[in-house]
Amino acid sequence: MISSLPLASVANDFDGSKPLVCAAIFSAECNAGDQECITGAPWMINIPVFMKVDFEAKKVTTTKQHENPRTSTISHVGKLTDGHTAIQGVDNAFVWSMLITEETGSMTLSIAGEDTGYLIFGACLPAK
Write the Ramachandran bin of 71: left for phi over 0, alpha for psi from -120 to 50, otherwise beta.
beta
Better-predicted residue by pLDDT, 2 or 97: 97
Residue 5, pLDDT > 60, answer no
Determine the CATH number of domain 2-126. Answer: 2.40.128
pLDDT, position 67:
72
pLDDT in tens, 18-61: 899 999 999 999 999 888 899 999 988 888 899 999 999 999 99
Residue 4, pLDDT > 60, answer no
The string of DSSP codes covering the chain is -GGGS-HHHHHGGGSSSS-EEEEEEEEEEEETT-SS-EEE-GGGGT--SEEEEETTTTEEEE-TTSSS--EEEEEEEEEETTTEEEEEEEETTEEEEEEEETTT-EEEEEEE-SSEEEEEEEEEEE--
117 CB-contact burial (10 Å; exposed 0-12 / middle 13-18 / buried 19+)? middle
Cβ atoms within 10 Å, residue 79: 12
Q: Within 13 Å, how many C-alpha atoms sit on residue 62's CB side?
A: 13
Q: Which amino acid is at 24?
A: A
pLDDT, position 127:
87
Mean pLDDT computed over 101-117:
94
d(CA 111, CA 117): 6
Q: Which amino acid is at 83?
A: G
Residue 88, pLDDT > 50, answer yes
Q: What global pTM score does this model have?
A: 0.83
